Structure 1
Amino acid sequence: MKRVLITAGASGIGRAMGEGFAAAGLEVWVTDVDGAALAACPDDWRGFQVDATDEPAMAAVFAQMDRLDVLCANAGIAGPTAPVEDVALEDWRRCVSINLEGAFLAAKYAAPVMKAAGAGAIVLTSSTAGLYGYPNRAPYAAAKWAMIGLMKTLAMELGPFGVRVNAICPGSVEGARMEGVLAREAAVKGMTRDQVYAGYAAGTSMRSFVQPRDIADMAVFLGSDQARMVSGQVIAVDGHTENPDPKV
């Protein structure tokens, strides 16, 4: 049975990915910092309460693997929502660390396993913030742009060993993380949550938020044999973002 490992896989987009890969017949392993969310995962998933930036802990997870077919480096946080002059260096570093270093560590330890097998697929969860500048989101946008550079480099390094690497750029995804963003942005702009929500939706040609399953479906495709010649690609699942500075 093929195996997928999903970081931050116990809730939100990661949980949807796990459900998608399970439906496709893969054995699901997940890491997450939230022990309660891990405990609520299906019994046949293998879960590890691990911080994605904790290198010894991540190395210990990969040391238990005799195979890994798909890695979804999905761990991330939204970071602060504030003008750049109001962003604390500590908050900048935490946002960049979890988003970028978390993806780096997962790829670092997945690469030897996949290279030895001569096959594999790595999917990084970037963001449309990795395609556009977003006012008041400097740490997040910087980290998500950097993840695309990481993906392009990994695709070149690992391609000769049969390993594909791609990045998904979700748009505005329904869920707890986006609710936090909406609340913080509303405070910064002096707007209501619903006004900010409407602005995000209006900034896409589909006039809609994305659902976690939309991201999961793309991840399952990229991890499958149907995508065997898809590598080094940045794929937005965002309803076509037209306006990176949501307004009403």
Structure 2
Amino acid sequence: LDILVNNVGIAGPTGGVQEIERADWNRTVEVNLNSQFYFAQRAVPLLKQSAANPSIIAMSSVAGRLGYAFRTPYAATKWAIVGFMKSLAIELGPCGVRVNAILPGVVEGNRMNDVISARAAATGIPVDAMRDQYLRKISLRRMVTMDDVAAMAVFLSSPAARNVTGQAISVDGNVEYL
């Protein structure tokens, strides 16, 4: 094994902290954070044997840098992934294994379209106006694509990134707030 892209996650519950059920909190932690640990634990012995620029790429989120009101379980797990990655980078660096995190921002696609539509319906704002609200939170005024995120993963997996480790790299067009 030369590369582990640790890409798993769920949105988790939405609501104020007092409204979140313990089971929903635990499920979000189990899927978003603990799965990172389980996969890394199994992959590390194999990565240590690799002579081909071994790398772990942990998918986090800009919520792991900014916080996210009413999405506390999601944001907390994404913050924790950054800490997990940084600790692994320190631990595995002497073995030649690089560890980084990618923090996608607002990603264009069906999921984001559903989020925007639901938010528009809940607030009585037209969908196009709600989309504009999301875009105004991004300095470049555009959403990133899955290809943008994949390109960063390809770069981090390549020899060009041989000295990049312990980094939480946002691919987000500079999301200013969530």
Instruction: Say if 1:190 and 1:102 are closer, same or farther in 2 by CA, change over 3 A.
Output: farther
Contact 1:128 1:238 in 2 (8 A): yes
Task: Please point out which of 19, 23, 30 is paired with 1:86.
Answer: 19
Instruction: Say if 1:146 and 1:206 are closer, same or farther in 2 by CA, change over 3 A.
Output: same
Task: Please point out which of 63, 84, 87 is paired with 1:150.
Answer: 84
**Taking CA–CA contacts closer than 8 Å with sequence separation of 6 or more, which of the two structures ends up with the larger relative contact order?**
2
Instruction: Say if 1:191 and 1:101 are closer, same or farther in 2 by CA, change over 3 A.
Output: farther
Instruction: Say if 1:114 and 1:226 are closer, same or farther in 2 by CA, change over 3 A.
Output: same
Query: 1:190 offset after TM fit, Å?
Result: 5.3
The letter for the 2-side match of 1:129 is: A
Identity of aligned residues (%): 49
Counterpart CA distance in 1 for 2:13 and 2:98 is 32
Instruction: Say if 1:93 and 1:179 are closer, same or farther in 2 by CA, change over 3 A.
Output: farther
Pairing 1:201–2:132 present: no
Counterpart CA distance in 2 for 1:105 and 1:233 is 21
Instruction: Say if 1:75 and 1:127 are closer, same or farther in 2 by CA, change over 3 A.
Output: same
For the aligned residues, what is the CA RMSD?
A: 1.7
Pairing 1:70–2:3 present: yes
Instruction: Say if 1:196 and 1:99 are closer, same or farther in 2 by CA, change over 3 A.
Output: farther
Instruction: Say if 1:85 and 1:101 are closer, same or farther in 2 by CA, change over 3 A.
Output: same
Counterpart CA distance in 2 for 1:124 and 1:72 is 6
| Mean CA deviation greater in 183-192 or 157-166 | 183-192
| SS of alignment partner, residue 66 of structure 2 | coil
Structure 2, unmatched stretches of 5+, are none
Query: 1:73 offset after TM fit, Å?
Result: 0.3
Task: Please point out which of 36, 57, 63 is paired with 1:103.
Answer: 36
Query: 1:184 offset after TM fit, Å?
Result: 4.8
What's the CA shift string for 1:6-40, capped at 9, x where partnerless? xxxxxxxxxxxxxxxxxxxxxxxxxxxxxxxxxxx
Pairing 1:120–2:40 present: no
Counterpart CA distance in 1 for 2:60 and 2:134 is 18
Residue correspondences, number: 177
Query: 1:154 offset after TM fit, Å?
Result: 0.5
Instruction: Say if 1:188 and 1:86 are closer, same or farther in 2 by CA, change over 3 A.
Output: farther
Structure 1, unmatched stretches of 5+, are 1-67
Judging by fraction of residues, say which structure has more helix.
Answer: 2
| SS of alignment partner, residue 131 of structure 1 | helix
Q: Under a length normalisation based on structure 1, what TM-score does the superposition of the two structures give?
A: 0.67
Counterpart CA distance in 2 for 1:73 and 1:237 is 16
Counterpart CA distance in 1 for 2:23 and 2:118 is 18
Q: Under a length normalisation based on structure 2, what TM-score does the superposition of the two structures give?
A: 0.91
Instruction: Say if 1:196 and 1:89 are closer, same or farther in 2 by CA, change over 3 A.
Output: farther
